[in-house]
């Protein structure tokens, strides 16, 4: 009887092991064009972006993160992980001392010199492409899921997010008069997001008209005069800390803007609309829809 139990446990564990490693070895190319071959699931991960850290926790492998940036603050457990500096200025010595199997970094704002420096030390660094819409966001998320052995979980989260978005899109189809939105992302120099950015796509899916939609620059400067000319129905300002309320107060002086006259000035959580995480993206679309259309 004892032998049968041992045999059963051994067989069960073997099956579970095979299932968890059936996609390995995994060959995949990163956004820098480098070809990777993962022979096994990485167990020691360094994340150089808050969104990557959050995505790893979302996939259930947060405990495998041995290092992340000082800006990695969600979920709460992420704050307790060893810090390796910032995305712009990581502490290379600290990174080396943590003996990572893999380092994950986003392409946007990436310094090629940093990549080369880390690679010269014999460390593997995987670059994720820029997320500018839902498709590119989900593509990166599912690549990450494959690498960490959570492909099934990644697909499930993807389908759940798409299902929630479908419900919002069913509502936006019924909108008779779409409202114009000005989206402020910087101060005192006023900047906004074009339709080619992640934030621009959030607005679009929420059924709003981005007054900077057609800009050829992703994050163009925008004058108050241009905003007055466009006369948006709603003004949204990404939360920039203590200066956010000051910016709202400045806009309140311009009574010739419809958004000001109707008191449609809102501060938006920067992390919600700026971190390329599937669940955040969907939540942002839902939130913006609710704010703009009031239901």
CATH topology classification for 170-293: Rossmann fold (3.40.50)
Q: What is the pLDDT of residues 25-84, one digit of tens each?
A: 999 999 999 999 999 999 999 999 999 999 999 999 999 999 999 999 999 999 999 999
The answer to whether 234 and 264 have CB atoms below 8 angstroms apart is: yes
Mean residue pLDDT of the chain comes to 92
How crowded is residue 37: how many other Cβ atoms within 10 Å of its Cβ?
Answer: 9
The answer to whether 77 and 56 have CB atoms below 8 angstroms apart is: no
Average pLDDT over residues 101-113: 90
Beta bridge partners of 65: 45
Secondary structure (DSSP) of 29-70 = E-TTS-EEEESS--SSEEE-SHHHHHHHHHTT-GGGEEEB-T
Same fold, 2-130 and 170-293: yes
Rg (CA), the chain: 22
CB neighbours of 120 closer than 8 A, spacing ≥ 6? Answer: none
Q: What is the pLDDT of residues 242-272, one digit of tens each?
A: 999 999 999 999 999 999 999 999 999 999 9
The CATH architecture one would assign to domain 2-130 is 3-Layer(aba) Sandwich (3.40)
Looking at residue 180, its pLDDT comes to: 98
Secondary structure (DSSP) of 117-170 = HHHHTT--EEEEPP--SHHHHHHHHHHHHHHTT-HHHHHHHHHHHHHHHHHHHH
Could you identify the residue written with the tokens 């949204």?
A: 236
Average pLDDT over residues 205-219: 97
Looking at residue 282, its pLDDT comes to: 97
Average pLDDT over residues 92-121: 92
How sure is the predictor about 113, in pLDDT bands with cuts at 50, 70 and 90? confident
Listed as own residue / partner, the contacts of 215-223 with beta carbons closer than 8 Å and 24 or more positions apart are 218/193, 218/194, 219/185, 219/186, 219/191, 219/192, 219/193, 219/194, 220/191, 220/192, 220/194, 221/189, 221/190, 221/191, 222/182, 222/184, 222/190, 222/191, 222/192, 223/190
Q: What is the pLDDT of residues 147-191, one digit of tens each?
A: 999 999 999 999 999 999 999 999 999 999 999 999 999 999 999
Q: How is the chain split into domains, by residue range?
A: 2-130, 170-293
């Amino acid at each position: 009887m004892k032998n049968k139990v041992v045999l059963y446990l051994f067989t069960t564990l073997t099956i579970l092991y095979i299932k968890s490693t059936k996609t390995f070895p995994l060959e995949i190319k990163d956004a820098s064009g480098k070809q990777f071959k993962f022979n096994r699931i990485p167990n020691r991960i360094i994340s150089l972006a808050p969104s990557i850290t959050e995505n790893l926790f979302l996939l259930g492998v947060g405990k495998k993160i041995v290092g992340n940036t000082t800006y990695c603050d969600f979920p709460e457990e992420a704050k307790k992980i060893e810090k390796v500096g910032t995305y712009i200025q990581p502490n290379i010595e600290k990174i080396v001392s943590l003996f990572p199997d893999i380092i994950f970094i986003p392409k946007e704002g990436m310094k090629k010199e940093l990549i080369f420096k880390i690679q010269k030390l014999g460390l593997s660094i995987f670059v994720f492409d820029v997320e500018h819409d839902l498709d590119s966001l989900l593509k990166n998320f599912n690549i990450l899921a494959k690498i960490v052995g959570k492909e099934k979980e990644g697909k499930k989260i993807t389908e759940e997010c798409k299902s929630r978005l479908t419900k919002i899109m069913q509502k936006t189809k019924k909108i008779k008069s779409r409202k114009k939105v000005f989206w402020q992302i910087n101060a005192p120099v006023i900047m906004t997001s074009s339709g080619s950015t992640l934030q621009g796509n959030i607005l679009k899916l929420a059924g709003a008209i981005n007054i900077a939609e057609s800009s050829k620059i992703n994050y163009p400067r925008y004058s108050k005069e241009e905003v007055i000319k466009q006369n948006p129905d709603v003004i949204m300002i990404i939360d920039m800390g203590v200066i956010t309320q000051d910016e709202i107060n400045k806009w309140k002086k311009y009574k010739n803007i419809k958004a000001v006259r109707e008191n449609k000035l809102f501060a938006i959580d920067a992390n919600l609309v700026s971190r390329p995480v599937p669940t955040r993206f969907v939540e942002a679309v839902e939130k913006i829809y609710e704010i703009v259309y009031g239901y």
